[in-house]
Structure 1
Amino acid sequence: MKVLYNHEYPRRVRLAAIGCGGHAIRNVFSTHPYAPIDLVAVCDLDRERAEHTGCMFGAKAAYTDYHEMLEREKPEAVTVVTNYDEDGRPRYPQIAIDCMQAGAHVWIEKPPAASSAEVLDMMRVSEATGKFVAVGFKKMFFPANVKAREIITRPAFGSISTITARYPEALPPLEDRQDLHKMWRFLDHIVHPWSVLQYLAGPAESIFVQRSPTGGTVTAIQFASGAVGSLHLDRGQGSSSFLERTEIVGPGGNVVIHNNTKLTFYSDGPKPAGGYGRSGDYYGGDERAALHWEPEFSLGQLYNKGIFLLGYAPEIRYFCQCVLDDTPPEVGTLDNALEMLRIYEAYCQPDGQHIRIDTEPGKVS
């Protein structure tokens, strides 16, 4: 994949940015050199921070009121990276609605909302205005996950039979699950493993959650495709441990994604000669060998940068291209967000029960 630098694009998106905190500076603004962006303005409640950030990244103006910025600058698109309000709710739904009503497409960071009802509100405004919302489900853009999806959609791989994932998170006890202040971390993080599962295996039809006294959980999943899977939210792993692992199995082999950077494909090739009890080697022919990919960290390549490995640059570039093409995104959508919040709401229910997930897309009427 060849990446163009900002100045090489024949046309760039007139973009404004809301939120100039540490995450935005580290991971979102830093993608701009590789995306078709003309940063017309930035906005933050802290004027000094907005001005310094705008100066760093070439914004032409800085604001403390995003309503004023939208009115004066009339951007084509807006990126939003904010925090939670005093009630513990992500601020994105109302900001996204205001941006769409001002005539701009919007990219919002995760988690997109605190409830499926808020996602439906954004969908209604998107339908009414013709402006779309893209959601920062960065793991749908991880190069390792993108390659895994390409492998498992090959005809030779066949339909997914099982998928398993591990992610470091704890589910609060039932008595805390209606308190957004106590659930914010779970809401903030659960979108990560579920966005991978959704991206690779499609919509979930039902889940069954078992929780340990320490907060770790194992969730059994039935997917609409017929595949089954599990999500292990581990509580208490070593601080030096790798964080994540995903494995997808089908008739044509299995794919393992280790620590988001190491990808191995074990194809269902010819077995070693001799048969069980008579084979003298374990490797067989080269056509049976596993394929393995991982980045090297010696060359100054873009694929070694965290903003590429962690999906930030690919997702911002994708969003900008959708804006330039005036085409709604197909990855990181409000439909994805709606399922994500329905999953979150299912986790808020008592453990040990079979919970169906509404797989119908959002009705905007």
Structure 2
Amino acid sequence: MSYQREFKNKIKVGIIGIGSHSYRNILPAMNYLPVQVTAVCNRNLDIGRVTAEQYGCTHYQSPVEMYDHEEIDAVFISVSAQLHPRFVIEALDRGKHVWVEKPIAMRAHDVEAMLAHRTDQVVVVGYKKVFSPAAQKATEIVNSDKFGELQSMLSVYPMTVPLDGKKALAAPDVSNWLNNGIHPLSFMMALGGKVAGVTTLCNDAGRGIVALHFASGVMGNFHMSSGPQPRLERYAVYGESWQLDIENSRITLHRGIPFSYKETTNYAPPGDGHGAIVWEPSNCMATLENKALFTQGMYFEMKYFCDCILEKIQPEKGTLEFSLELMKVYEAGLLSAGKTIYLD
């Protein structure tokens, strides 16, 4: 682990959007990244000046003004989903690499517009569930021969689907289904690959399931739960041989035990080559592994973005292409109303 002051090669970056979310999550992550924060951009003059003073950089009220006065390599964008397409395209047209927070846009066609403006720049979208340690471990396990072929997945997340999907798609505001529903959707799509069909079944309160029919034959069940705050989210990934469960940041791999029906008497037989394995943050020391930036994946998505720039490679995770597929699934979930919508 290196800290910002220890990196020899740094990327000159501008931060577009320094509101509450950015100040709590994106700006603090800069302490661990190979970057030099050159400028912050925000419409609010007072917040901009104070934040720029804190980070030893310059404040601008518009990205265009920042591009005209600063030599930067990349931008981190965290504004509203309605503004993301405009600012992403603006940055791409200026030749900048782009990291952008989710949700990337309001509609799938907005992502297509961004793709049309991208050339050789690195673009990574902040899907923290895809980059979280739990998702990285799940990917490792699912791709191992011991897990067996992936069969199905379950996501349990507090959520409702707007009953009038067409109205929701046309609304100017960001719905909770877009803002947070893409967390479990992105997790399952990162593991399962391309989605061929989407079926939403819900009651009059908007509770129910979104079934993902993956092109590989895998089935995904996004169960929209109710429950107390703080939120409790669960994921289960089922293979032919093993099962992996995630509850918040706790990961449990169920490997089974030597078993014979009518004969097995010991649920904890000798040996350590079977049974369950558990990974979880220690929560007893002030170490990095216990910080939300790391347990939730936000550091990893931004470090991945920086590494792709420094190594001059195109990203394979959190791409615009993945975002386009995700937005199509999001839209299909709204329009399904009990019928399966098949995606191209």
TM-score (norm 1): 0.90
1:355 corresponds to: 341
CA distance in 2, matches of 1:227, 1:93: 32
Partner of 1:161, secondary structure, is strand
2:258 corresponds to: 270
Residue 282 of structure 1 pairs with residue 301 of structure 2: no
Partner of 1:281, secondary structure, is coil
CA distance in 1, matches of 2:14, 2:173: 32
- 2:72 aligned to which of 59, 70, 75: 75
Partner of 2:118, secondary structure, is helix
CA distance in 2, matches of 1:232, 1:124: 35
- 1:335 aligned to which of 314, 321, 337: 321
How far the C-alpha of 1:248 sits from its partner, in A, is 0.6
1:43 corresponds to: 41
Please tell me the residue identity of whatever aligns with 2:274: R
Cα deviation digits, residues 293-327 of structure 1 (max 9, x gap): 11111112111111111111111111111111222
CA distance in 2, matches of 1:284, 1:349: 50
How far the C-alpha of 1:276 sits from its partner, in A, is 2.1
- 1:227 aligned to which of 218, 221, 232: 218
CA distance in 2, matches of 1:300, 1:16: 29
| Percent identity for Structure 1 against Structure 2 | 30
Q: Which 4+ runs in 1 deviate beyond 4 A? A: none
What do you get for the CA RMSD once the two structures are aligned?
Answer: 1.5
- 1:33 aligned to which of 13, 31, 34: 31
CA distance in 1, matches of 2:146, 2:324: 32
- 1:243 aligned to which of 232, 243, 247: 232
Please tell me the residue identity of whatever aligns with 1:74: E
Partner of 1:156, secondary structure, is helix
2:179 corresponds to: 188
1:112 corresponds to: 104
1:308 corresponds to: 294
Partner of 1:300, secondary structure, is coil
> For the Cα contact (< 8 Å) 1:15–1:77, is it kept in 2?
yes
CA distance in 2, matches of 1:160, 1:63: 49
Runs of at least 5 residues in structure 1 that lack an aligned partner in the other structure: 85-89, 359-365
Please tell me the residue identity of whatever aligns with 1:246: Y
> For the Cα contact (< 8 Å) 2:168–2:175, is it kept in 1?
no
TM-score (norm 2): 0.95
Partner of 1:348, secondary structure, is helix
Runs of at least 5 residues in structure 2 that lack an aligned partner in the other structure: none
How far the C-alpha of 1:77 sits from its partner, in A, is 0.2
Partner of 1:344, secondary structure, is helix
2:145 corresponds to: 155
CA distance in 2, matches of 1:279, 1:186: 46
Partner of 2:264, secondary structure, is coil
Please tell me the residue identity of whatever aligns with 2:242: G
Please tell me the residue identity of whatever aligns with 1:346: A
Alignment length (residue pairs): 342
CA distance in 1, matches of 2:324, 2:63: 26
Please tell me the residue identity of whatever aligns with 2:297: G
Partner of 1:278, secondary structure, is coil
> For the Cα contact (< 8 Å) 1:71–1:102, is it kept in 2?
no
How far the C-alpha of 1:19 sits from its partner, in A, is 0.6
CA distance in 2, matches of 1:83, 1:276: 56
- 2:87 aligned to which of 86, 91, 95: 95
